[in-house]
Structures are given as structure tokens and as C-alpha cells.
A and B are shown apart, each in its own frame.
Chain A
Amino acid sequence: MILDAHGHLGPWPDFLIPDQSAEGMVALMDRLGVDAVGISHLVAVGAGAEEGNRLAFAAAERHPGRFGVWQVYNPHQRNPLAASGVWGVKLHPDVHRCALDDPRYDPVWELGLPVLAHGQTDSPWSDPERFVTVARRHPQVPLLLGHAGLWPHGFARAAALVRDHPNVHLEICGSRMTGRWVARLAAAIGADRVVYGSDACFLDLRIGFGRVALAPLTDADRALVLGGNLARVLRAAGVLPEGHLP
């Protein structure tokens, strides 16, 4: 099973994305053998959480079983969250300028679903240390540390910080990640704690997938990173029933 933990649909104002569509994503998924991608809509990450989430749900409905929804929670908009029918919640502390451990996110932790959050080394909003703070407060909430901290100088630190917090996994998409670093992170924290994501359509699905496909990993570790780990997390959270894709 190949599960991509980190996907997006829709436009982003900072730069041109040639193909933002669900249909284009599914075509690439089919070509590569990716079973499902967890998506948050970029409109939701941006200015319109509720509208963007509606668009994500619509895409998932059009392509049943191919998209899991990471519904976005914007702490300034306090948008309603679904308790089921999703993979979990996406948080973007840097876009929303609210630190990950801020009490304004309490409704998310109370919900208890898996959370994929943007993680950025040295950011005042989403440095991996904040993931540790949240992990200590809410050890029952599965946390995916997005981008493994984003910057290469922070990858090893992110792994070291979360190593002793089993509810945190490193999600490895990003334009600065390399195949070599994927292998290093698997060695540092255990291949069972590293989760493949692509950031497609923000980034190209083929690059994110290819980075893991060609990384210097054993086949067993590659299988864990490419989907085994995320399947385990989602099943444990009750959002990915055994033998069933969302």
C-alpha cells in the first residue's frame, strides 16, 4: 500500500502551479501506483478554511477512496470540524501565525484525530520543539511533523527531538529534502517513524514519490515509509478501517 500523507489541491497566491487539479493528481497517482493521498485544499490553508475544506470534501467525493481529507483548522476563523470521514486535521501555524502549542488550537486536540502540521525549523510558529510540547500534553493525538522541519540543517534535530515521543512521526515532503536525508532519518529515528508525503500539487507528486523510491533504503524500510507507517497510524485512530481505503 502506498499512502501519501501530504497533498494539496487548488491554487496558491505566491506562485504559479501549472496543475492544481484533483483529476491531474489522480492521473499521476494511477501512473505511480499511489493508492491514496491525504489532501488539504490550499484555499483552506489560505484565507478560507471552511470553503477550502468543502472543496477538499468535494474532491474526495468525486474520487472515492483516492483522497483522504486533512480538514484545515484556522484558529482565527474557528471553523467547524468534522469528527469523522476524514483522515484528520491539518494545521499551518506559519500561514495562520498561531504557534502550534497555542491554546487556540485546543478544539483540535480535544477532537483527538490525527494531525498533520506544518513544521519549520527555527520558525516562531512551528519549530519542532513545539511538536514536543504538544506531544507531551496530548500523547493520545497522533502528530505528523510536516516537512521534518523543512530545512536540512534542522532534519537531524527534528528527529532527535521527537525520538522519545512515539505519537510523533516525521513526514518528509519538501523542496529541500533529499533521498539521502530520507535514509538518514530512517536510520536516526527508525523507519517506522518516517512517513512519505509529496506536498503535491504544491510540489510534483513524481518528485516526492521518486525521492523515496530511489532513496538508499532497504525494501522493507521503503515499504514502511511509503505507506505501512501511515496505514498503522490511521487504523489506530480509527480513520482507516482494516482492508479499506478512505
Chain B
Amino acid sequence: MPYPVVDAHRLIGPIPFDDLPEDPRPDMARLGIGRAYVTHSLSLHSDARAGNEALLALDDPRLVPVPVLLPDPPGPRWSGAGPTGAGWSGAGPTGAGPFGCEAGRDVPMVRLCPARHRFDLTGPSALRALAALGVPAALDLDETTPAQLLALARELPGQRVLLLNPGYRRLRAIAELMAALPNLWLEIGTVNTQRGVEWLARRFGAERLVFGTGAPVMDDCGPRFLLDHLDLPEADIALIASGGGLL
């Protein structure tokens, strides 16, 4: 089907527990994925600052940076969002912003790892940082809980969230969240029980679903094939492929 495909969730960089490619572009090309929102593996597994720095140094329009946000970093506060997302308007003497390094470009989305990185998703620092950035936040369902997501929505009603790696075993809980939170979008790469994606699309609309894989750690071949074979109208498939109503 002739629609552009954007993978909302890919990694770039070395993976500590498997022999996987560091550069996502060859697999993207092979599978017909034109653009990917990427987070650097160093930010997830080693040093958020170093990973974000490496990520934001990339200069390829096929790779859209999604830096990892650690709340309450040292240095002056973020100055707020521009029309295309958040921007760093100037570093103080320490040179550090919310991504732990001097970010010289806008970012359309940030990644949060409250469990891995040991902060409270609805704590004052995280709320302040998210409010200042004003961009969507992507996080794994395993990094949070439905209750925390509900609390986040109460504190920041306008905060957009992309829920990553929801899996296939929690459709009931996910459906409750999607019904309760209009600003919640769902990555479909791990929604791989029989006709699970269609079940969600019928209930919430294709605009709430986002194609993403988590590759190379997670599979991209199966989800990419599923995308082309969804039992949905072509316009809905194209919408999911381009990021739903979020990206």
C-alpha cells in the first residue's frame, strides 16, 4: 500500500544485552519504513546525557530524535515550547538543560523512564519539566501504571502521552485508559493478539493508534507485515502508519 510509514519507537546505539545493529537505517530501508522516532540506547541503559548528546548530533531527516528526559537537571530551566515543539533558548553557565546536555535543536517528543531511572512520574520535578516542554511524552507501560497515568492527566490535562510496549495481555486495562484519557495514544507494535489492533481501532478510532516497533530489541518484521494487512479502511491504515493523530 502506497502510504508513508513512520516508526514511532526505535532505538539507535549499542544494546548491552544482545548483538543488535546500532544503526536503524538499513532495517528501516529493507522494511519500507521511511522515518523513525529514535531514542539513543545509551540514554536508556547508561548515561542519559551522553545518549541525548549523541542523539541530538544526528543530522538525518529519517531519524527524529526523542531524547530521554530526567527531571530537575542542574542549570537554568527550559524556556518553553515553540511552534514546532520545545526548544532550548539558551544555556546558563553550566550548559545543561532538561536532557542533561546543551540541546541545540527542537524535539517533538521526549522519552520517560520513571521506573528505570527512579523518579516519580507525577512528582513535582517531572510535572514541572513536562509542563515546561509542552511536547508529547513516550513511555513504556511497564515504566508506569494505569493509576499513575490517570494521576498525570489530572495534574497536566493537556499532556499528550504515547504509551509504548503495551503488550497484548492488558487490552482491558488499556481500553479503560484510552476511554478515560483523550490525550493518550497507543503504540501498536506489541498489540499482537488476534485482531487486537482492529478491536482497539473500532473502539477508539485509528487516530489514537500509532505504528511503532521498539526495534531492534523488539520485532519489526511482524508488526510491519501486520500494518499492511490490517482489516481496516485504507485511510485508517495510512493514519496509523503516519503516527495517528499524534505525530
CA distance in complex: A14, B173 (Å): 12
Stretch at the interface among B154-162, B194-202, B233-241: B194-202
| A8 CB to nearest chain B CB (Å) | 9
Beta-carbon contact of A19 and B194 below 8 Å: yes
Beta-carbon contact of A203 and B31 below 8 Å: no
Beta-carbon contact of A16 and B229 below 8 Å: no
Residues of A within 8 A of B62 (CB): none
Residues of A within 8 A of B17 (CB): 153
Chain A CB within 10 A, most for which of B31, B167, B199, B226: B226
In residues 202-232 of chain B, which contact A (Cβ within 8 Å)? 215-216, 218-226, 229
The answer, yes or no, to whether B59 is at the interface (CB within 8 Å) is no
Beta-carbon contact of B221 and A213 below 8 Å: yes
Beta-carbon contact of B225 and A18 below 8 Å: no
In residues 222-238 of chain A, which contact B (Cβ within 8 Å)? none
Beta-carbon contact of A204 and B219 below 8 Å: no
Beta-carbon contact of B190 and A175 below 8 Å: yes
Q: Write the residues of chain B forming the contact surface with A, with a CB cutoff of 8 angstroms.
A: 17-18, 20, 30-31, 167-172, 190, 192-199, 215-216, 218-226, 229
Contact A18 to B196, CB < 8 A, known contacts A204-B226, A214-B225:
yes
Residues of A within 8 A of B198 (CB): 18
- Which one of B31, B167, B170, B197 contacts A175 once the chains associate, using CB atoms below 8 Å? B167
* Interface bracket on A: 35 or more
The answer, yes or no, to whether A70 is at the interface (CB within 8 Å) is no
Residues of A within 8 A of B194 (CB): 17-20, 24-25, 28, 200-205
Beta-carbon contact of B171 and A211 below 8 Å: no
Beta-carbon contact of A180 and B20 below 8 Å: yes
Beta-carbon contact of A214 and B221 below 8 Å: yes
Chain B CB within 10 A, most for which of A32, A177, A203: A203
Beta-carbon contact of A15 and B171 below 8 Å: yes
- Which one of A179, A201, A216 contacts B193 once the chains associate, using CB atoms below 8 Å? A201
CA distance in complex: A25, B195 (Å): 10
For this complex, 16 residue pairs linking A to B, each with C-beta atoms less than 8 Å apart, are A15-B169, A18-B194, A18-B198, A18-B199, A176-B218, A179-B220, A203-B192, A204-B193, A204-B195, A204-B196, A204-B226, A206-B229, A207-B219, A208-B222, A210-B221, A211-B219
| Closest partner residue, chain A, to B202 (CB atom) | A18
Residues of A within 8 A of B170 (CB): 15
Beta-carbon contact of A202 and B229 below 8 Å: no
- Which one of B30, B171, B195 contacts A24 once the chains associate, using CB atoms below 8 Å? B195
CA distance in complex: A209, B167 (Å): 18
Beta-carbon contact of A210 and B224 below 8 Å: yes
Beta-carbon contact of B169 and A179 below 8 Å: no
In residues 131-164 of chain A, which contact B (Cβ within 8 Å)? 152-153
CA distance in complex: A158, B194 (Å): 27
The answer, yes or no, to whether A79 is at the interface (CB within 8 Å) is no
| A41 CB to nearest chain B CB (Å) | 14
Beta-carbon contact of A206 and B171 below 8 Å: no
CA distance in complex: A31, B229 (Å): 9
The answer, yes or no, to whether A215 is at the interface (CB within 8 Å) is yes
CA distance in complex: A202, B172 (Å): 15
Residues of A within 8 A of B167 (CB): 175
Beta-carbon contact of A179 and B168 below 8 Å: no
Residues of B within 8 A of A24 (CB): 194-195
Beta-carbon contact of B30 and A216 below 8 Å: yes
Residues of A within 8 A of B30 (CB): 216
CA distance in complex: A201, B30 (Å): 28
| The 8 residue pairs across chains A and B that have the minimum distance between CB atoms | A210-B225, A179-B221, A207-B222, A201-B194, A214-B221, A18-B199, A211-B222, A178-B219
| Closest partner residue, chain A, to B174 (CB atom) | A16
| B220 CB to nearest chain A CB (Å) | 7
| A223 CB to nearest chain B CB (Å) | 17
| A203 CB to nearest chain B CB (Å) | 5
| B91 CB to nearest chain A CB (Å) | 40
Beta-carbon contact of B221 and A202 below 8 Å: no
Residues of A within 8 A of B219 (CB): 177-179, 207, 211
